[in-house]
């Protein structure tokens, strides 16, 4: 059940109705049961993996609270890494997927959302350990934290310290939350259906038949793919955040206008914030602290390891390792060349400097997105090497491209004006007539120019 499907909207509506009809104490239990039902609908008996992860992680947290021994933390991290490895990395490393059809190992699929809920579990345990407080949430609260359905499939990766207090907080029906949540969902649907899904046929055709294309077509497809991922994933996040808001829950923002980033480091502060802040807090900062005596070498080591983890988090493929390494190198270069770059930008008029740095980052990210798209390093090299050639410009269905571009103009236009404010807040600040005009435009655009057949999100695979 995709978050852009009618079934999801019906499911959400039904859960919402029962939620506000129930006494407050019963509401978290309803959310918990709905979340498990949601997972079972999506991946059947893989719900068992989620339940196993919740049970073992919770027991380990209880163990830590009782004994206060670091070993519990280590076991928790090992358990989550083992779970990730078993489903995500070992099949790729040992080539289970190429075993004969029907064999048990060949049939093992990656449980949807595994990377997200495993990181949540590790984060919770580390927070517990670092806070020193031997107070663990109740089993129900912890279970809901791990399986809350709007964020279960592809994040945002929640933090226990911000999520769990919301479970125990009495949540009454709140008009502002309902409006805000609905706005977010509508905005997400528009980005997914009108932009990402209309770009998808073009990028699919070019990348699946990259041998037929060269030069400008490949470059354009890489840019289109980067925008597609951005729209696709930020749309998912908007729908997830909006859905949670309808129940009175606030999830972490996942994007903050990443296209306005002026450096790769800045980009990662704005892109998939729940993951980048997770690796910053639980990996980069501790590593940097441990290696502080090494000076610049320590910073480089911490940065490279962090980005390597970001790359590998996306999946077991060398292209993703290289993706991480490239971003690590770019980020390291940026931190070592701060003064040099500051001098260079100062020698240019501010506006030109801003546009240039913006453009360089955009092109770097778009080029590296080819690695996310390619099935192997060989394919990535073949695609990138074809940018140098020349062939007639291929645009696919011009009609779909026009729809996607008109959607982008609206989204990027609003992004420019709103800055870092979340979209629902920005819309809320507009005059009523403008707000309503926007709602109606977004609603009408869905059946008029949206591509309604594609329900999958790119980040489901991670």
Partner 1 sequence: MKRFVTNAVLLLTISLVLDFGIGKALEYMYFANTSGAPGYVLNHAVSQPYDAYIMGASGAQRGYIPSVISRELGMEVLNTGEAGTNIFHNYATLKLVLKHRTPKLIIWDLTDADYFYRPDAGKTGMITPYYHDPDIKELLYDLDPLNKLWLCSKIYPYNGKILSIVSSYVSKPNAQAAGDKGYHPIEGSINLKMRSQYLRQFSEEQSFIKHRSKDEAAKDALIRKYFHAFIQLCRDNNIRLIAFHCPKAPLNSQIASTPLISEELRAQLQHYNIPLYSIMPGQYPEMNNLSLFFDFSHLNHSGAQVFSRIIAEHIKSELK
Tell me which residue of 76, 72, 111, 108 sits closest to 91, measured CA to CA: 108
How many CA atoms lie less than 13 Å away from 110 in the CB half-sphere?
Answer: 25
Tokens 């990181």 sit on residue: 119
Q: What tokens appear for 172 in the block?
A: 């009454």
Residue closer to partner 1 by CB (options 172, 293) is 172
Binding site for partner 1 (CB under 8 A): 6-7, 20, 101, 173, 175, 178-179, 182, 209, 211-212, 399-400, 402-403, 436, 439-440, 443-444, 447-452
Residue closer to partner 1 by CB (options 344, 402) is 402
For residue 443, the minimal CB distance to partner 1 (Å) is 5
User: For residue 281, what is the DSSP state?
Assistant: I
For residue 62, the minimal CB distance to partner 1 (Å) is 39
Distance CA 288, CA 295 (A): 10
Distance CA 233, CA 177 (A): 22
Distance CA 62, CA 128 (A): 10
For residue 403, the minimal CB distance to partner 1 (Å) is 7
Residue closer to partner 1 by CB (options 104, 172) is 172
Distance CA 286, CA 274 (A): 18
For residue 209, the minimal CB distance to partner 1 (Å) is 8
For residue 173, the minimal CB distance to partner 1 (Å) is 5
Cα separation of the two ends of the chain: 17
Residue closer to partner 1 by CB (options 359, 388) is 388
Query: CA triplet 189, 195, 199: central angle to 5 degrees?
Result: 135
The distance from CA 325 to its chain's CA centroid, rounded to whole angstroms, is: 19
Residue closer to partner 1 by CB (options 10, 81) is 10
For residue 380, the minimal CB distance to partner 1 (Å) is 19
Residue closer to partner 1 by CB (options 71, 402) is 402
Residue closer to partner 1 by CB (options 397, 461) is 397
In a 3-state reduction of DSSP, which class is residue 393?
Answer: coil
Distance CA 236, CA 243 (A): 10
For residue 6, the minimal CB distance to partner 1 (Å) is 5
Distance CA 261, CA 437 (A): 30
For residue 212, the minimal CB distance to partner 1 (Å) is 7
Distance CA 308, CA 294 (A): 20
Distance CA 153, CA 114 (A): 8
Residue closer to partner 1 by CB (options 101, 339) is 101
């Amino acid at each position: 059940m995709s978050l852009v499907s009618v079934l999801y909207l019906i499911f959400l509506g039904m859960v919402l109705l029962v939620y506000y009809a129930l006494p407050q104490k019963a509401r978290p239990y309803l959310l918990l049961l709905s979340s498990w039902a949601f997972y079972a609908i999506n991946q059947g008996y893989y719900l068992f993996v989620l339940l196993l992860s919740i049970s073992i992680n919770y027991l380990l947290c209880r163990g830590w609270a009782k004994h206060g021994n670091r070993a519990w933390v280590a076991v928790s991290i090992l358990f989550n890494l083992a779970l990730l490895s078993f489903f995500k990395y070992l099949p790729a490393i040992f080539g289970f997927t190429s075993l004969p059809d029907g064999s048990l190992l060949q049939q093992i699929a990656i449980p949807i959302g595994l990377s997200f809920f495993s990181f949540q579990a590790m984060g919770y345990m580390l927070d517990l350990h670092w806070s020193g407080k031997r107070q663990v949430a109740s089993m129900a609260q912890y279970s809901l934290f791990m399986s809350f359905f709007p964020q279960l499939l592809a994040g945002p990766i929640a933090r226990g310290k911000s999520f769990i207090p919301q479970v125990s907080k009495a949540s009454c029906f709140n008009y502002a939350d309902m409006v805000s949540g609905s706005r977010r969902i509508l905005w997400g649907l528009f980005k997914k259906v009108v932009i990402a899904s209309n770009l998808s046929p073009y990028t699919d055709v070019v990348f699946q038949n990259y041998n037929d294309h060269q030069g400008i077509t490949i470059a354009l497809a890489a840019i289109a793919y980067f925008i597609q991922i951005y729209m696709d994933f930020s749309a998912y996040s908007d729908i997830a955040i909006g859905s949670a808001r309808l129940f009175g829950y606030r999830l972490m923002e996942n994007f903050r206008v990443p296209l306005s980033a002026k450096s790769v480091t800045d980009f990662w502060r704005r892109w998939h914030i729940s993951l980048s802040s997770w690796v910053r807090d639980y990996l980069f900062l501790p590593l940097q602290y441990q290696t502080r005596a090494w000076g610049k070498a320590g910073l480089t080591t911490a940065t490279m390891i962090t980005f390597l983890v970001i790359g590998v988090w996306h999946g077991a493929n060398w292209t993703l390792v290289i993706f991480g390494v490239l971003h690590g190198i770019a980020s390291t270069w940026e931190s070592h060349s701060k003064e040099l770059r500051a001098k260079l930008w100062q020698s240019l008029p501010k506006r030109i400097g801003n546009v240039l740095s913006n453009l360089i980052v955009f092109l770097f990210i778009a080029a590296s997105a080819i690695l996310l798209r390619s099935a192997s390093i060989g394919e990535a090299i073949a695609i990138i090497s074809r940018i140098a050639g020349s062939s007639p410009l291929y645009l696919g269905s011009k009609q779909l491209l026009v729809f996607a571009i008109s959607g982008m103009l609206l989204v990027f236009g609003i992004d420019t004006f709103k800055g870092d404010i979340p979209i629902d807040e920005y819309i809320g600040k507009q005059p009523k007539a403008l707000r309503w005009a926007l709602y109606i435009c977004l609603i009408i655009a869905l059946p008029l120019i949206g591509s309604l057949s594609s329900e999958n999100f790119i980040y489901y695979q991670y």
